[in-house]
């Protein structure tokens, strides 16, 4: 079963290369191929996670290797489920690149199986961690939308069209995509914080103790809350929303990794 | 008729600011300009063209100066400008220059946006109007009709028209890249230029919901708005209208900017930052170039749009050169036709000259023959007339008949030399 992860990683790489080929050639047939390869990778990935579950005996989201892999898995399925609802040209190219980067990070992290620390032995583990990672997946897609928006807007604003103008969808479509990803991501992020807080009460006896991870997830939450709030009240849309989605995602990534490596604290598991 | 009787007096966006063009004769007059022109006695044939950027009178006058003054007076009658000032704001083309000018106008080489297709249609309807009012004589009729075929030839032989169409196509594509879907969007036309109309037409075909026209003179705004079933506003309402507009196409003939960055910046907040696509197709520019710096505002002027179309500049100027060459060629051809028309005056001159000789010689001879009776006198006179007529018969036939081997121009030249018509 150890072979499943490399197969998954390899399939993702092939999917990404196909998507890049589509991005370059703009041939519909290439896109169809890329999509089916990504779908295959998603299925392999699901098998990998299920196998790992039986191997380690609990939901495999307790260390860096597992959590980043789960992050990538959530992004793949989030994208695939999104794809049927939104037609956003070349979104897949950007998303597949990010997924592959995540999978490479996961592959490079230690895959050793460490016995579960006592504090994590709870039913809240799969609930809290998976929700938090799924939130990251949608925020990552919002990040992709933001990057695409800025690339497209740059060319339109500069009045000189390069490789992106033809290949990327309209600003309106990108802004909508961004908004939908962030709205879903924000709901999941909120749920992640609430479930974490309940679990903290059970494990440590207090809902909130300003642990660095908690603090930074709150910072991330406030960034997205501000973005969504001002979108409706002050018209923080489009360019500003795109920039904010990139800033927000950086905060989310810092919460996931930066806190663990730089700040430590009792919540530093995913490492 | 002489070539130099053919004249054009006109005012366009290049020579006169919009303030002057607005006050030209036809705007809002109830009497048709063609009828007014018919009243000018020195003006024998006439045709009137009025578009947003151009007002021109094509006419034929016996007395050049008198005709030009009268037509100018008619054009500028509402402006209170002296004839001298009127001359400054208008151009006068005579003869070959007039031919060249009309051909360039018809083929859109003289337009604000070279190659825009509207002008030919406007010229055709001006021609129809003049024709219905029986204002066209043989010469003007042929002259204007010829300009249509020249325009058609240029359109088929060069790519000049494609750049204007592709510019407005590019504008639509851009709008789609910004707004996604154009359904339910609102477009505003500032000024009423031909290219603006073309772009608006394309946009409406793409699902634009509402068209607003803002113009200095409300009457014209209303007229254009009617075409798109839109509304008309005055230029003062421009900024307040901007709150709900998505696309703005500006093509006024104003010398100053119409919209500044400081006007738009506060509005963007009220618009909740929904994007604003500004298209400036006026020359000189209507919209502050700094507007592009405002977030979610995208400003394109005609050069930007042309660059985007990726028709490279060398290619475009090559097409324009080709078109200019065709105009020159057709001008020469038309002039040749016109010269052909001068056979009749040549014959008349020839007759007059020979008649004068006959009369002079008769008088001289008769002075020495005092003892002749009236009957004999008449015989001598009849003989002189008969000789003259017989002598002239062949030269006239020579002039009038078409022949393959000798050029008409050459024939005329020959006859005029032989008879010494140009000496006096």
Q: What is the pLDDT of residues B389-399, one digit of tens each?
A: 999 999 888 88
Looking at per-residue pLDDT, the higher value among B138 and A204 belongs to A204
Nearest residue in chain B measured CA to CA from A159: B304
Residues of B with Cβ-Cβ distance to A164 under 8 angstroms: none
Q: What are phi and psi of A33, to 5 degrees?
A: -60, -50
Chain A nearest C-alpha distance from B235 (Å): 27
Predicted confidence (pLDDT) at residue B209 exceeds the cutoff of 70: yes
- Which residues touch B402 (CB under 8 Å, ≥6 apart)? B408
Q: What is the pLDDT of residues B317-345, one digit of tens each?
A: 788 888 999 999 999 888 876 765 567 77
Tell me how far apart the alpha carbons of residues B81 and B77 are, in angstroms, rounded to a whole number.
8
Rg over CA atoms, chain B:
29
Give the pLDDT score at B424: 45
- Which residues touch A207 (CB under 8 Å, ≥6 apart)? A197, A198, A200, A201
Contact status, residue A111 vs residue A65, Cβ threshold 8 Å: yes
Predicted confidence (pLDDT) at residue A137 exceeds the cutoff of 90: yes
Q: What is the pLDDT of residues B66-122, one digit of tens each?
A: 889 999 988 888 777 888 888 888 999 998 999 999 999 999 888 877 777 788 888
Kindly provide the ipTM of the predicted complex, given to two decimals.
0.85
Tell me the catalytic residues of B.
52
Q: Minimal CA–CA distance to B176: which of A132, A259, A169?
A: A169
Q: Minimal CA–CA distance to B250: which of B284, B289, B280, B288?
A: B280
Residues of A with Cβ-Cβ distance to B298 under 8 angstroms: 156-157
Looking at per-residue pLDDT, the higher value among A165 and A271 belongs to A165
Q: Is B180 close to A171, i.e. CB distance below 8 A?
A: yes
DSSP B280: E
Residue in A170, A235, A236 closest to B178 by CB: A170
Mean pLDDT of chain A: 89
The 3-state DSSP class for residue B245 equals: coil
Residues of B with Cβ-Cβ distance to A171 under 8 angstroms: 177-180, 275
Chain B nearest C-alpha distance from A197 (Å): 36
State the helix-helix crossing angle for A212-233 and A171-204, rounded to 10 degrees: 140
Q: Which of A151, A156, A232, A244 to mutate to test the interface with B (most CBs of B within 10 A)?
A: A156
Task: Read off the pLDDT of each residue in B136-147 and give the average, rounded to a whole number.
Answer: 84
Q: Which of A18-32, A116-130, B1-15, B324-338 has the highest mean pLDDT?
A: A18-32
Give the count of beta carbons closer than 10 Å to the beta carbon of residue B66: 14
Nearest residue in chain A measured CA to CA from B271: A235
Residues of A with Cβ-Cβ distance to B296 under 8 angstroms: 237-239
State the helix-helix crossing angle for A28-56 and A64-83, rounded to 10 degrees: 140
Q: Which two tokens stand for residue A243?
A: 């920039």
Chain A nearest C-alpha distance from B130 (Å): 45
B337 touches chain A (CB under 8 A): no
Q: CA B226, B230, B231, B235 torsion: positive or negative?
A: negative
Tell me how far apart the alpha carbons of residues A74 and A134 are, in angstroms, rounded to a whole number.
6
Q: At A268, is the pLDDT very low, low, confident or very high (cuts 50, 70, 90)?
A: low
Nearest residue in chain B measured CA to CA from A154: B298
- Which residues touch B401 (CB under 8 Å, ≥6 apart)? none
CA-to-CA dists, residue A122 to A58, A196, A198, A203, angstroms:
10, 12, 12, 9
Tokens 């080709």, residue?
A: B322
Residue in B269, B273, B300 closest to A238 by CB: B273
Predicted confidence (pLDDT) at residue A152 exceeds the cutoff of 90: yes
Predicted confidence (pLDDT) at residue A67 exceeds the cutoff of 70: yes
Chain A nearest C-alpha distance from B260 (Å): 18
Predicted confidence (pLDDT) at residue A189 exceeds the cutoff of 60: yes
Rg over CA atoms, chain A:
19
Q: Which two tokens stand for residue B342?
A: 């001068």
Tell me how far apart the alpha carbons of residues B23 and B79 are, in angstroms, rounded to a whole number.
5
Q: Minimal CA–CA distance to B172: which of B193, B200, B211?
A: B200
Q: At A262, is the pLDDT very low, low, confident or very high (cuts 50, 70, 90)?
A: confident
């Amino acid at each position: 079963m150890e072979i499943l992860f490399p197969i998954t990683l390899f399939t993702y790489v092939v999917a990404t290369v196909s998507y890049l080929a589509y991005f370059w050639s703009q041939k519909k047939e290439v896109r169809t191929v890329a999509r089916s390869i990504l779908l295959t990778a998603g299925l392999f990935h699901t098998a990998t996670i299920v196998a790992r579950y039986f191997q380690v005996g609990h939901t495999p989201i307790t260390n860096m290797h597992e959590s980043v892999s789960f992050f990538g898995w959530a992004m793949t399925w989030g994208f695939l489920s999104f794809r049927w609802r939104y037609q956003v040209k070349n979104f897949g190219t950007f998303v597949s690149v990010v997924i592959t980067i995540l999978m490479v990070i996961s592959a490079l992290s230690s895959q050793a199986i460490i016995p579960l620390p006592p504090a994590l032995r709870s039913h809240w583990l799969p609930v809290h961690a998976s929700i938090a990672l799924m939130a990251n997946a949608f925020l990552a897609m919002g990040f992709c939308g933001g990057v695409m928006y800025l690339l497209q807007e740059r060319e339109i604003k500069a009045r000189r069209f390069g490789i992106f103008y033809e290949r990327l969808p309209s600003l309106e479509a990108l802004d909508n995509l961004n908004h939908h990803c962030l709205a879903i991501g924000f709901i999941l992020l909120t749920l992640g914080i609430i479930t974490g807080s309940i679990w903290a009460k059970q494990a440590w006896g207090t809902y909130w103790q300003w642990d660095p991870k908690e603090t930074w997830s709150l910072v991330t939450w406030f960034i997205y809350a501000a973005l969504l709030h001002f979108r409706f009240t002050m018209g923080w849309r489009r360019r500003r929303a795109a920039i904010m989605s990139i800033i927000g995602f950086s905060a989310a990534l810092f919460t996931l990794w930066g806190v663990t490596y730089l700040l430590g604290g009792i919540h530093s598991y995913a490492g | 008729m002489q070539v130099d009787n053919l004249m054009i007096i006109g005012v366009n966006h290049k020579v006169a600011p919009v303030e002057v063009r607005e006050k030209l004769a036809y705007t809002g007059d109830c009497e048709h300009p063609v009828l007014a022109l018919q009243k000018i006695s020195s003006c024998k044939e006439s045709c009137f063209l009025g578009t947003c950027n151009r007002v021109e009178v094509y006419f034929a006058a016996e007395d050049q100066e008198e005709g030009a003054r009268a037509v100018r007076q008619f054009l500028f009658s509402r402006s209170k400008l002296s004839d001298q000032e009127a001359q400054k704001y208008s151009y006068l083309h005579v003869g070959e220059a007039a031919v060249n000018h009309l051909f360039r106008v018809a083929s859109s080489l003289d337009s604000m946006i070279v190659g825009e297709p509207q002008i030919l249609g406007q010229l055709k309807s001006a021609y129809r109007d003049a024709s219905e009012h029986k204002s066209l004589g043989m010469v003007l009729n042929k002259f204007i009709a010829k300009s249509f075929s020249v325009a058609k030839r240029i359109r088929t032989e060069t790519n000049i028209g494609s750049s204007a169409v592709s510019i407005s196509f590019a504008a639509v594509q851009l709008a789609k890249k910004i707004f996604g879907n154009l359904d339910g969007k609102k477009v505003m036309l500032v000024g009423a230029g031909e290219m603006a109309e073309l772009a608006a037409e394309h946009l409406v075909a793409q699902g634009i919901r509402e068209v607003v026209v803002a113009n200095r003179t409300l009457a014209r705004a209303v007229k254009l708005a009617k075409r798109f079933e839109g509304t008309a506003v005055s230029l003062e309402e421009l900024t307040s209208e901007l709150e709900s507009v998505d696309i703005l196409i500006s093509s006024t003939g104003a010398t100053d900017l119409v919209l500044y960055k400081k006007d738009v910046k506060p509005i963007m907040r009220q618009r909740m930052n929904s994007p604003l696509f500004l298209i400036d197709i006026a020359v000189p520019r209507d919209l502050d170039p700094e507007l592009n710096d405002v977030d979610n505002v995208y400003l394109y002027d005609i050069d930007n749009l042309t660059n985007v179309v990726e028709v490279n500049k060398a290619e475009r100027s090559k097409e324009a050169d080709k078109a200019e060459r065709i105009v020159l060629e057709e001008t020469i051809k038309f002039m040749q036709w016109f010269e052909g028309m001068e056979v009749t005056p040549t014959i008349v001159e020839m007759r007059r000259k020979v008649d004068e000789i006959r009369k002079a010689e008769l008088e001289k001879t008769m002075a020495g023959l005092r003892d002749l009776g009236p009957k004999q006198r008449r015989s001598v006179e009849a003989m002189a007339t008969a000789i003259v007529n017989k002598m002239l018969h062949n030269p006239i036939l020579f002039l009038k008949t078409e022949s393959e081997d000798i050029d008409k121009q050459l024939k005329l030249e020959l006859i005029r030399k032989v008879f010494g018509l140009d000496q006096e």
